[in-house]
């Protein structure tokens, strides 16, 4: 473990050399990263398939393609984003000029999850590089093939004093040791439980954090929704990556007037997209581990299986499953599912659904399907969540022009596009004064100067 201390020390010394602050240095390393990915696309896709059973298409659009977009927008805008901003100066301190400088934090620790093991490591790394930081990276030990590949690509091609991947197969003891180090920023993606531990550890050194967590993201289908289109988009978003997506619809409220029709369409869409025998579909991924399959399979006893329910622990497989008539004390009501099991409830009053959503922890995402603009605005204005997609699912996460992050229990901070640059940058306030004159009223003796101050500051 002493090796980790040495790694952090080397990274800190490299940062203090000032090399990472050079804009061309940052751009060159972003271009190098993109070139490495381009040269190894097939190997990356193969690793994702081995870890999670992802098809090449899903692996590309949800992992590699998103990383390319992040690199491209960072390279295109980095010079503009990194410029100092001139802001107004107060007459009280005339003559003066005020600026906001974009300053790197230093050494950023990036801890990634297993579900999107490539994208959720590389996307924050792009922000760290773009803002001028050094980085130490801990990929998930569960996504073995992808994490080992990331270690190989980064450690063999970047200066280890600049960016370093540490022990991808190490478990919580490695993460614990990393969290004992006085790094300058921590970016964590994972569970709420571990996120709280990360924040507690960071508080020892008052290290700023971004926590990309999760929670129970609600999906609501109202009676005036386009039922066929809603079913298509919900089926895709829920069963993408076999439900192992932090912003996947966790549970569904469907209006009682359209419940039967919607469930019929949802089943049709599952079979249209993944076939009637989903286990044989090349487009349907697998659960990350046998332990996770066992955990998820326990939920099947908490309601009536309307569709699916097939489980194979050895093959790390759970079929797309719809649950209805869930018990009132079911664990599935409280716990984030993070798998291909979809509990469905009916409603007849939108205000009651909104109230139920608000009585729980603030979710990472919320999805509402309706053609009524007034009801859409009602939901937007009366709920709090990290993000919202109206009449679709998940895709707000893919926009490099929207900051992505949680609120409350679902996370702290945001990233993607400019938000990534801002996340890894300290906005340093700078006031520059001239010396050719001075307004004397702020210096003692004060005498009757308070009257003048009250006239100015009122």
- What confidence tier does 71 reach under pLDDT thresholds 50, 70, 90? very high
Co-location of 281 and 364 in the same domain: yes
3-state secondary structure 239-308: HHHHHCCCCCCCEEEEECCCHHHHHHHHHHHHHHHHCCCHHHCCCCCCCCCHHHHHHHHHHHHHCEEEEC
Co-location of 205 and 237 in the same domain: no
Asked if pLDDT for residue 225 goes beyond 80, the answer is yes
Co-location of 237 and 332 in the same domain: yes
* pLDDT tens, position by position, 137-171: 999 999 999 999 999 999 999 999 999 999 999 99
Co-location of 342 and 262 in the same domain: yes
Residue 450 lies in a domain: no
Asked whether 230 and 259 are in contact (CB, 8 A), the reply is no
Domain hosting residue 72, numbered range: 2-213+408-430
Q: Which of 246, 265, 269, 336 is catalytic?
A: 246
* pLDDT tens, position by position, 196-224: 999 999 999 999 999 999 999 999 999 99
Query: Rounded mean pLDDT of 222-235?
Result: 99
Asked if pLDDT for residue 1 goes beyond 50, the answer is no
- Comparing C-alpha atoms, which of 369, 411, 440, 425 is closest to residue 129? 425
Residue 59 lies in a domain: yes
Active site residue 246: yes
Co-location of 202 and 346 in the same domain: no
Co-location of 65 and 108 in the same domain: yes
Co-location of 396 and 413 in the same domain: no
How much of the chain, in percent, has pLDDT values that exceed 70?
A: 100
Residue 187 lies in a domain: yes
Cis check for the bond before 445: say yes or no (omega within 30 of 0). Answer: yes
Residue 433, SS3? strand
Asked if pLDDT for residue 44 goes beyond 80, the answer is yes
Structural tokens at position 42: 């097939």
* pLDDT tens, position by position, 391-446: 999 999 999 999 999 999 999 999 999 999 999 999 999 999 998 888 888 889 98
State the Cα–Cα distance between residues 311 and 317, nearest whole angstrom. 6
Structural tokens at position 187: 């970016």
Active site residue 160: no
What was the pLDDT predicted at 136? 99
Asked whether 125 and 446 are in contact (CB, 8 A), the reply is no
* pLDDT tens, position by position, 333-367: 999 999 999 999 999 999 999 999 999 999 999 99
Q: Is 84 left (phi over 0), alpha (psi -120 to 50) or beta?
A: beta
What was the pLDDT predicted at 451? 86
Domain holding 123: CATH number? 3.40.605.10
Asked if pLDDT for residue 2 goes beyond 80, the answer is no
C-alpha distance across the termini of the chain, in Å: 58
409 contacts: CB under 8 Å, gap ≥ 6:
192, 213, 215, 361, 362
What was the pLDDT predicted at 94? 87
- What confidence tier does 67 reach under pLDDT thresholds 50, 70, 90? very high
What was the pLDDT predicted at 439? 80
Number of structural domains the chain divides into = 2
How much of the chain, in percent, has pLDDT values that exceed 90?
A: 92
Q: What is the pTM of this model?
A: 0.96
Query: Rounded mean pLDDT of 76-100?
Result: 95
- Comparing C-alpha atoms, which of 197, 126, 164, 214 is closest to residue 415? 126
Going from the C-alpha of 442 to that of each of 96, 224, 454, the distances in angstroms are 15, 64, 13
Strand ranges, E, within 331-410: 341-347, 365-369, 387-390, 404-405
196 contacts: CB under 8 Å, gap ≥ 6:
none
Residue with the bigger pLDDT between 455 and 300: it is 300
Asked whether 165 and 139 are in contact (CB, 8 A), the reply is yes
State the Cα–Cα distance between residues 202 and 184, nearest whole angstrom. 10
Domain holding 366: CATH number? 3.40.309.10
Asked if pLDDT for residue 88 goes beyond 70, the answer is yes
Query: Rounded mean pLDDT of 279-298?
Result: 98
Structural tokens at position 56: 């090449």
Residue 9 lies in a domain: yes
- What confidence tier does 279 reach under pLDDT thresholds 50, 70, 90? very high
pLDDT mean across residues, the chain: 97
């Amino acid at each position: 473990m002493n090796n980790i201390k040495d790694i952090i020390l080397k990274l800190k010394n490299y940062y203090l050399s000032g090399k990472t602050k050079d804009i061309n240095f940052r751009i060159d390393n972003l271009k190098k990263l993109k070139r490495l990915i381009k040269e190894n696309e097939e190997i990356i896709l193969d690793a994702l398939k081995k870890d999670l059973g992802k098809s090449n298409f899903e692996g590309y659009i949800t992992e590699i393609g998103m990383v390319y977009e992040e690199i491209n927008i960072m390279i295109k805008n980095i010079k503009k984003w990194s410029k100092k901003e001139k802001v107004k100066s107060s007459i009280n301190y005339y003559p003066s000029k005020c600026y906001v400088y974009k300053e790197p934090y230093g050494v950023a620790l990036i801890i990634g999850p297993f579900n999107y093991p490539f994208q959720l490591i590389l996307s924050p790394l792009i922000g760290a590089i773009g803002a001028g930081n050094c980085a130490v990276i801990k990929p998930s030990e569960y996504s073995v093939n992808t994490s080992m590949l990331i270690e190989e690509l980064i450690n063999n091609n970047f200066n280890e004093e600049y960016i370093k991947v540490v022990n991808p197969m190490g478990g919580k003891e490695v993460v614990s040791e990393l969290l004992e180090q006085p790094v300058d920023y921590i970016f964590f993606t994972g569970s709420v439980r571990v996120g709280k531990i990360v924040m507690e550890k960071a508080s020892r050194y008052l290290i700023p954090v971004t926590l990309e967590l999760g929670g129970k993201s609600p999906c609501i289908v109202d009676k005036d929704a386009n039922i066929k289109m809603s079913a298509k988009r919900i089926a895709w978003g829920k069963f993408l990556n076999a439900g192992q997506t932090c912003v996947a619809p966790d549970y569904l409220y469907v209006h009682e007037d359209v419940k039967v029709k919607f469930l019929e369409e949802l089943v049709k869409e599952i079979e249209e997209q993944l076939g009637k025998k989903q286990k044989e579909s090349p487009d349907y991924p697998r659960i990350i581990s046998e332990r996770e399959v066992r955990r998820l399979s326990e939920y099947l006893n908490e309601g009536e299986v309307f569709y699916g329910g097939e489980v194979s622990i050895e093959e790390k497989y759970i079929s797309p499953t719809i649950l209805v008539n869930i018990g009132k004390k079911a664990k599935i009501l409280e716990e984030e599912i993070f798998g291909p099991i979809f509990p469905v409830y009916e409603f007849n009053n939108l205000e009651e659904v909104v109230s139920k959503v608000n009585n729980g922890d603030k979710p990472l995402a919320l999805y509402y399907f309706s053609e009524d603009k007034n009801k859409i605005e009602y939901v937007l204005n009366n709920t709090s969540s990290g993000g919202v997609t109206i009449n679709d699912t998940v895709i707000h996460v893919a926009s490099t022009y929207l900051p992505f992050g949680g609120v409350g229990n679902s996370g702290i901070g945001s990233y993607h596009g400019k938000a990534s640059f801002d996340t890894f940058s300290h906005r340093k306030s700078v006031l520059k004064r001239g010396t050719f004159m001075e307004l004397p009223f702020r210096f003692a003796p004060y005498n009757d100067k308070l009257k003048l101050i009250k006239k100015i500051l009122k």
